[in-house]
Structure 1
Amino acid sequence: MSDTTDKANLYETDYEVGQDNLQKWGMDVHHPVFWIAAGLILVFVIGTLVVPHEAKEALDSAKWWSIAKFDWLFMLAGNIFVIFTLVLIFLPVGKIRLGGDKAKPEFSYFSWFAMLFAAGMGIGLMFWSVAEPTAYYTGWYETPLGVEANTPEAAQKAMSATMFHWGLHPWAIYAVVALSLAFFSFNKGLPLTIRSAFYPLIKDKSWGPFGHLIDTIAVVATLFGLATSLGFGAQQAAAGIEFLSGVPAEEAGSAFGIQLAIILGVTAIALISVLRGLDGGVKLLSNINMGIAGLLLLFVMIVGPTALIFTTIGTTAVGYVQDIVSYSNWMGRDDEAWMQGWTVFYWAWWISWSPFVGMFIARVSYGRTVREFIIAVLLVPTLVTLVWMSVFGGSALDQIQSQVGALADGLSSVELAMFQMLENLPFTAITSGIGVILVLVFFITSSDSGSLVIDAITAGGKVDAPAVQRVFWVVIEGVVAAALLFGGGADALTALQAAAITVGLPFTLVLIVMCLSLYLGLRHEAKYVSDRVQTTA
């Protein structure tokens, strides 16, 4: 909390950041969150390595049970988050500044946006911007709203459905968590940790067993999500390298060897980055990555079907607006299998990632007003995603419809879809190489920011824990990903992903309660500001 925050504006609590911490082995860890989370992660990894197939089946069953039985909850909650965050823009509480009236932002608009975007879903846009529209259009796994595959209507729905999954709803999930954490930490002087968001409802009970449970779940979900992404990302990057070289990994040596080298490389760079801190690490890499991504976007826009791309941006925007209610409804759907397999799966995934992404966005958002925050975290990324998906997805659909390249035969590999689209544009080797670099750097920034988040939670809300503690979590992420990839392969990674998504079910309820708690906190702040103005008038 900044010194500019008026002390009279704080909540009344005897809790102090780090009061339950234990200093040992050069680390400053919160007891018992650190030990319970580390123990659960260790037990899960060992169990998955011993019986990877059985673990995958058991956790897959839990995941699909959650999705099938509670699809209505995920869908309803997603809609609540969008409406809630949009309403905050227009309410008087939108004027509240994170950190107090005199707080100044720590980062420029570009750096701020680059960091929140890189942490939020930069890697996902690289992975799915071609694969997802292609899957929907060709009916690879069901079609949105039950349209017939490979038709003009399917092309329109493919783009609007992709936009739906990467637009307002996921960013609203992140915004709820991020704004809650930023507000309660910067304005109310509470620790920068998930439990703080519940203080208006349960007061000092936040620091007891309930708070320990919430923070522990957040740590486990974050590490599982990061390790899963690192493992699958290594497979995607290896596929890209194989595509560029033209030599299958099995012929070049060991496929696992290449993937392990990628994990080690990403972990090593993330380690250097996390030691350099926000300014010298995440901010620098995020700025570089956004610049490279922007150049790749412009390249495809210029050398690709330019006129069609601009048309696609318009039709996708219109289709998104027209179809958002249909996609948001969960009752009486003719495409229930598609809704559960894609939309509900995505919502559960975004929610399981929300503690990590939300806390990181909170850390870099000091000094912004609530209104400014919502616009930057909700609306701006949605517009950028609209352009990105239209450029890459529109180019891919054009190649399919024109029967050009490998995509014309359908989606053979999700990992290769982006590279197969770039293959039919000039300078394939250069653009595909840039694509591999972007994938890797996005993973580095995710690992870096995720480690900072886990470090803060397991330090009881401290943001200045010892460097050795940050190193510990970066290394653990890499070790978990490598161990599961080596010991269990795809089965182990799928089990880890299923575990992370299953955590999304209880955390959905947490986020709904968080909305109420945030509203109460903002109202408390607005009343304080109003009283102060009247007193000084």
Structure 2
Amino acid sequence: MTDETLGIPEPEGPTDLIDTDYEIGQDNVEGSVGPFGFDVHNPVFLISGLTIVAFVFYALVFQDQATEAFGALRPWLTSTFNWFFLTSANVFVLFCLALIVTPWGSVRLGGREATPDYTYVGWFAMLFAAGMGIGLMFFGVLEPVYHMAISEPLGVPSPFAEDGSIIEANVEAAKRMGLAATIYHWGLHPWAIYAIVALALALFSYNKGLPLTIRSAFYPIFGERVWGWTGHVIDILAVFATLFGLATSLGFGAQQANAGLEHVFGVPNNVEVQVVLITIITTIALISVLRGLDGGVKVLSEINMGLAALLLLFVLLVGPTMLILTDFVLGLFTYAQDLTALSNPFAREDTGYMNGWTAFYWAWWISWSPFVGMFIARVSRGRTVREFVTCVLIIPSLVCVLWMAVFGGVAIDQVLSDPAGSAVKAQVIDSYNPPISLFAMLEGLPLAGITSTLGIILVIVFFVTSSDSGSLVIDTITAGGKVDAPVPQRVFWCTFEGAVAIVLLLGGGLAALQAMVISTGLPFTIVLLLMCVAIAKGLASEPR
């Protein structure tokens, strides 16, 4: 018998894991081991690898030309396709919420008898470290303060007069909207993007017996063509999106680590030091990559989660605790109240918030989605669809919101309590220096030297976990879904992740990083929309 929906044979035994007939096309997927120990998934590895090498060469040799090109690319992309990014992200959220409440939620990833490979603690630790690490550190203080102070694009009067004094009548509305706008960027929408990719990969790998690679999710749509050029193009797009999404995060991490080192130890803050930092941390990531998922990524992720929880608890307790918790609740309420307006791509005449922040964020999350999605899929076998989507979508969103409310809330309180002397106001509002914002906030709390050092360590470890887990994912895609590709191949991708981050920093800094992540996120948005259709087809064929 065959499943008429997918054209995949049904299992003969009691398990739900379907033994598919993809072996004919899989000859194109498995590739061959080359002379340098590479498990070459031809042509995905060859095209993506050579293109990345050529990109690094171009950006190094023609730095001025690259800087000019990167500088013009981001504003054009965000202003032209902002509506597409916002509309697509809304579709992903609605689709995930529907999965939770439909009968499809009872489907278990891996079959009816499957059990989870990791405890909730280990699962959440790897999920957070891979999914949001450096972003939380970089934007945790910056974004709530910025949106609170520059609140006019959000329809709320600014709490600051022209002379810099506080307008008390505008404070509460500006605080709530600053947190609500931040929650919008770090809550349901990004985690829905991750959940779509992770669920598709887990479903078609564990339940349908297909390789753990992006193309497998499209078997219900394209059939055997996924083992040909249709699948090659999908996987190549996934490699580019993942690599540039990671490079953007690594660039943010290097700039923030450098800012912290300057703040605490007086280390010069310049691109040369950031290049050295990326080189050193990439070397550390290589060691973790060689140790594998359980021996490297899992251990570092759990250490990182513990340190992050320690810093979060310290800031919450020494800051205005009750005010922070109150603002957290009010921010959530304002977010729920204004979610339609925030997510409507056609609602604003002033598009600075939509283009400068939201469109970039959605492209960044989408670029990260092959990496985070595959990583989550690899550690999520045994969960039901309902459990999986709920945990990946709602629980991490609440933790991210709590992080932003604590760090952003303390920073906002510092700004409003002493606008003339606040280091946060000087660095975020007056001069807009994002990498130093976290350390400027910690400066106003007790034990600033210790907590700032801890912050630097967290940024570096988040940097390492992002790099090594990203390398493992790209390695899996280019090896046709194999999770045990040769060591030299892992080393190649880990090395070139760092190289891409370096050349983008040299070729335009933040503007270059953001431009490339948007340019790769755009085509991959179409891939994710098709992935929703494939998930629906796949779940419809599953016994419940």
- Detail structure 1 runs of 4+ shifted over 6 Å in the superposition: 2-5
Counterpart in the other structure of 1:96: 107
Q: Retained in 1: the 8 A contact 2:427–2:440?
A: no
Displacement of 1:180 in angstroms is 0.4
Which residue identity lines up with residue 6 of structure 1 in the other structure?
A: T
Which residue identity lines up with residue 517 of structure 1 in the other structure?
A: A
Matched, 1:185 2:205: yes
Give identity over the alignment, percent.
54
Counterpart in the other structure of 1:512: 529
Counterpart in the other structure of 1:533: none
Displacement of 1:221 in angstroms is 1.8
Q: Retained in 1: the 8 A contact 2:251–2:513?
A: no
Query: Aligned partners of 2:12, 2:245: CA distance in 1, in Å?
Result: 35
RMSD: 2.1
Alpha-carbon distance change, 400 to 492 in structure 1, aligned in 2, over 3 angstroms? closer
Matched, 1:313 2:328: yes
Match of 2:154 among 117, 122, 144: 144
Match of 1:326 among 341, 349, 360: 341
What is the DSSP-based 3-state SS (H/G/I as helix, E as strand, rest coil) of the residue aligned with 2:541?
helix
Q: Retained in 2: the 8 A contact 1:18–1:459?
A: no
Counterpart in the other structure of 2:425: 408
Counterpart in the other structure of 2:26: 16
Counterpart in the other structure of 1:445: 465
1:250-297 Cα offsets, whole Å, 9 max, x none, are: 7xxxx4453233223211221111111111111111111111110111
Query: Aligned partners of 1:416, 1:146: CA distance in 2, in Å?
Result: 27
Displacement of 1:410 in angstroms is 5.5
Match of 2:69 among 54, 58, 62: 58
Q: How does 1:125-524 map to 2 (within 5 A)?
A: 125-139=136-150, 143-145=153-155, 147-150=157-160, 151-152=170-171, 153-245=173-265, 247=266, 249=268, 255-403=270-418, 404-409=421-426, 411=428, 412=431, 413-485=433-505, 488=506, 491=508, 494-524=511-541
1:169-206 Cα offsets, whole Å, 9 max, x none, are: 00000100110011111111111111111110110001
Query: Aligned partners of 1:274, 1:265: CA distance in 2, in Å?
Result: 14
Q: Retained in 1: the 8 A contact 2:31–2:42?
A: yes
Query: Aligned partners of 2:48, 2:342: CA distance in 1, in Å?
Result: 36
- TM-score, normalised to structure 2, is 0.91
- TM-score, normalised to structure 1, is 0.92
Tell me how many residue pairs correspond in the alignment: 517
Matched, 1:44 2:55: yes
Alpha-carbon distance change, 265 to 186 in structure 1, aligned in 2, over 3 angstroms? same
Query: Aligned partners of 2:12, 2:292: CA distance in 1, in Å?
Result: 22
Higher mean C-alpha deviation, range 210-219 or range 56-65: 56-65
Match of 1:6 among 1, 15, 18: 15
What is the DSSP-based 3-state SS (H/G/I as helix, E as strand, rest coil) of the residue aligned with 2:48?
helix
1:384-424 Cα offsets, whole Å, 9 max, x none, are: 01211111100010000001521233513100001000001
Displacement of 1:20 in angstroms is 4.3
Alpha-carbon distance change, 43 to 8 in structure 1, aligned in 2, over 3 angstroms? closer
Query: Aligned partners of 2:193, 2:405: CA distance in 1, in Å?
Result: 23
Which residue identity lines up with residue 303 of structure 1 in the other structure?
A: V
Q: Retained in 1: the 8 A contact 2:341–2:347?
A: no
1:104-157 Cα offsets, whole Å, 9 max, x none, are: 1111101111111111112101110100111112229x6423543543222211
Q: How does 1:60-79 map to 2 (within 5 A)?
A: 60-79=71-90
Q: Retained in 1: the 8 A contact 2:99–2:105?
A: yes
Which residue identity lines up with residue 68 of structure 1 in the other structure?
A: S
Q: Unaligned 5+ residue runs, structure 1? A: 531-537
Query: Aligned partners of 2:349, 2:187: CA distance in 1, in Å?
Result: 23
Q: Unaligned 5+ residue runs, structure 2? A: 1-10, 161-169
